[in-house]
Amino acid sequence: MKAKNNARINAKQRKPGGVTGKGFRPGKSGNPKGRPRTRGLLTALRATLGEVRKDGRTIEQALVDALIGQAFRGRSKLSALQTIFDRLEGRPKMQLDFNDVTAAMKNRTAGELLHYAETGFWPEDKHA
Quick: pLDDT tens for 83-105: 888 888 888 887 776 666 677 77
Q: Is the pLDDT of residue 66 over 80?
A: yes
Residue 75 has a pLDDT of 86
Please report the sign of the dihedral spanned by the C-alpha atoms of residue 83, residue 89, residue 94, residue 100. negative
pTM, entire model: 0.41
| Chain centre to alpha carbon of residue 8 | 47
